[in-house]
Amino acid sequence: MHELSICQSMLRIVDATMEKHPGAKLMRIFLEIGKGATIEPVLLKDAFEIVTHDGPYAGTELVIKDIPLVGRCRSCGRSFEYEEIALGCPSCESIDIEIESGLEMNIKELEIDE
Amino acid sequence: MAKVSIEKRILSENDRIAIENRKTFADAGVLVLNIISSPGSGKTTLLEATLDRIARELAVLVIEGDVSTERDMDRVRARGAGGIQINTGGGCHLSAKMIREVLGELDLESADIVFIENVGNLICPSTYDLGEDVRLVLLSATEGDDKPMKYPSIFHEASLAILNKTDLLPHLIYDTEKVMKEIAVLNPNCEILRLSALQGEGMDTWIDWLREKLAAKRGEQTSGARRGT
Ligand SMILES: Nc1nc2c(ncn2[C@@H]2O[C@H](COP(=O)(O)OP(=O)(O)O)[C@@H](O)[C@H]2O)c(=O)[nH]1
Ligand SMILES: [Mg+2]
Ligand SMILES: [Zn+2]
């Protein structure tokens, strides 16, 4: 639902970076999106196409790396997919869990043709 | 082909403005709560019930985020709050920038507490820091007991979860223990209160919690001022 506004925030970062590379064509944008980050990659790609189709980034590819939602048990140190650990550690039953990954929403790098 | 490294949070600009907001709120010595929930969980009802209990002694401002109408703003004004309405024009969440843009219209210096009622939605508002002190997630018994697991990011960032509409529990299938356990797993620092904004059960504990937070915030304030001299 908020993929459009996420897309606009991303494009502001992209614009600021591309300004430093005048004349270059943007080929790919690499993102890292956690499964628990409330961003739907398909919707984000749709939003990106709609926003960029008639501008300098038309045809640029959005490459999204999905990061699984993983919890780590602080008691025994084991990590599990979040679904398995949501009610406590399946191995030692501790509920002292930390989210290890899966909340990311990062822009990693751009690939440009200079 | 060349690679250009960026390594930034997509919402880094929002995060930056949220830090400015937090500083503005801290300078004014005001406690700020960002209330997030699905539509109909009882955000406005909780504000009304809260105002009935504190508006005589504390100056309360409400920032109402809503897709279109001013109805919620009218409801809290009627209970003694000042504040302002932000219509997001269809947008599904408030952002730090939207808050920044209305701060000039609020008398923060005379205020004790600012409540921000975010747009009714449990998903989108969760990743937008507004500069608040307390991120409050409101769940109501009628939404079912599977919410924490479905929306991990909101609970991961929350400092308080309120389970509202406890008066309806006798009529529902709802495993309160399970909900509390799932929240604890997601975020051991998230406090949990249970209440009925409509019937009043549990409201006293919430008001005490609020007063404690306000006192703590003012404590920070004075020690900060002392350090500053
Ligand atoms: N039974 C019951 N109903 C409630 C309670 N709190 C709110 N409601 C009802 O839930 C509906 C939505 O409340 P509202 O405050 O407008 O929700 P909001 O959309 O989150 O602001 C209204 O009909 C309220 O009367 C409660 O504690 N118990
Ligand atoms: Mg409301
Ligand atoms: Zn364990």
Q: What tens digit of pLDDT does each residue of A15-37 get?
A: 999 999 999 999 999 999 999 99
pLDDT value of residue A47: 95
pLDDT value at position B226? 61
| Ligand 1 pocket residue status of B40, Cβ below 6 Å | yes
> Residues A55-68: what's their mean pLDDT?
96
Q: Is B67 in the pocket of ligand 1 (CB under 6 A)?
A: no
Which of these, A64, A10, A69, A58, lies nearest to A40 by C-alpha position? A64
CA–CA separation, B66 and B221 (whole Å): 31
Is residue B200 a contact partner of residue B166, using CB atoms and an 8 Å limit? Answer: no
* Residue-level pLDDT at A39: 93
Residue B225 is predicted with a pLDDT of: 60
* Whole-number Å distance between alpha carbons of B111 and B151: 33
Q: Which residues are paired to A101 by β-bridges? A: A70
pLDDT score at B224: 62
The pLDDT of residue B6 is 97
Pick the residue of B4, B7, B10 with the most A CBs within 10 A to test the interface with A by mutation: B10
Confidence at residue A1, expressed as pLDDT on a 0 to 100 scale: 64
Chain A residues touching chain B at CB-CB below 8 Å: 1-2, 5-6, 9-10, 12-13, 17, 21, 24, 27, 31, 36-38, 69, 71, 82-83, 85-88, 95-97, 99, 102-103, 105-114
Task: Write down the H helix ranges in B29-146.
Answer: 43-54, 71-77, 96-103
How much of chain B, in percent, has pLDDT values that exceed 70? 97
Q: How far apart are CA B198 and CA B203, in angstroms?
A: 9
Q: Which residue has the tokens 């205020």?
A: B111
pLDDT tens per residue, range A81-99:
998 988 899 999 998 999 9
pLDDT at B39: 93
pLDDT 10s digits, B130-145: 999 999 999 999 999 8
pLDDT > 60? residue B75: yes
Give dist(CA B135, CA B189) in Å, integer. Answer: 12
Give B11: exposed, middle or buried? Use CB within 10 Å, 0-12, 13-18, 19+: buried
Rounded CA separation B125/A39 (Å)? 12
Residues of A in contact with B3 (CB under 8 A): 109-112
Q: Which ranges constitute the DSSP H helices of chain B?
A: 12-28, 43-54, 71-77, 96-103, 147-150, 152-157, 176-186, 203-228
CATH topology classification for A2-113: hypothetical protein PF0899 fold (3.30.2320)
Mean pLDDT along residues A69-82:
95
Q: Which CATH superfamily is B2-219 part of?
A: P-loop containing nucleotide triphosphate hydrolases (3.40.50.300)
Q: Where are the domains of chain B?
A: 2-219
Candidates B198, B199, B206: which one to mutate for ligand 1, based on the most atoms within 8 Å of Cβ?
B198
Q: Grade residue B229 by pLDDT with cuts at 50, 70 and 90.
A: very low
> For residue range B166-218, what is the model confidence (pLDDT) as tens digits?
999 999 999 999 999 999 999 999 999 999 999 999 999 999 999 999 999 98
Mutate to test the interface with A, among B8, B185, B187, B190 (most CBs of A within 10 A): B185
pLDDT category at B33 given cuts 50, 70, 90 is very high
Q: How far is the CA of B153 from the centre of ligand 2 (A)?
A: 22
Chain A CB contacts of B97 below 8 Å: none
For β-strands A105-113 and A25-34, DSSP reports them as antiparallel
Query: Does residue B90 carry a pLDDT above 70?
Result: yes
**pLDDT for B148 beyond 90:** no
In chain B, residues with a C-beta closer than 8 Å to the C-beta of A5 are: 91, 93, 95
pLDDT at residue A2, as a whole number: 86
For residue B1, name the pLDDT band (cuts at 50, 70, 90). Answer: confident
User: By 3-state DSSP, what share of chain B in percent is helix, strand and coil, each rounded to 5?
Assistant: 45, 20, 35
The Cα–Cα gap between B195 and B163 comes to 6
Per-residue pLDDT at B227 exceeds 70: no
Whether the CB of B194 sits within 6 Å of ligand 1: no
Residues on chain B bordering chain A, Cβ-to-Cβ distance under 8 angstroms: 1-14, 91-93, 95, 121, 123-124, 126-127, 148-149, 151-154, 156, 178, 181-182, 184-186, 188
- Looking at residue B52, its pLDDT comes to 97
Q: How far is the CA of B156 from the centre of ligand 1 (A)?
A: 25
Atom of ligand 1 nearest to the CA of B41: 20
Q: Contact A99/B1, CB-based, under 8 Å?
A: no
Q: What is the mean pLDDT of residues B152-170?
A: 94
- Give the tens place of pLDDT for each residue, B92-123: 899 999 999 999 999 999 999 999 999 998 88
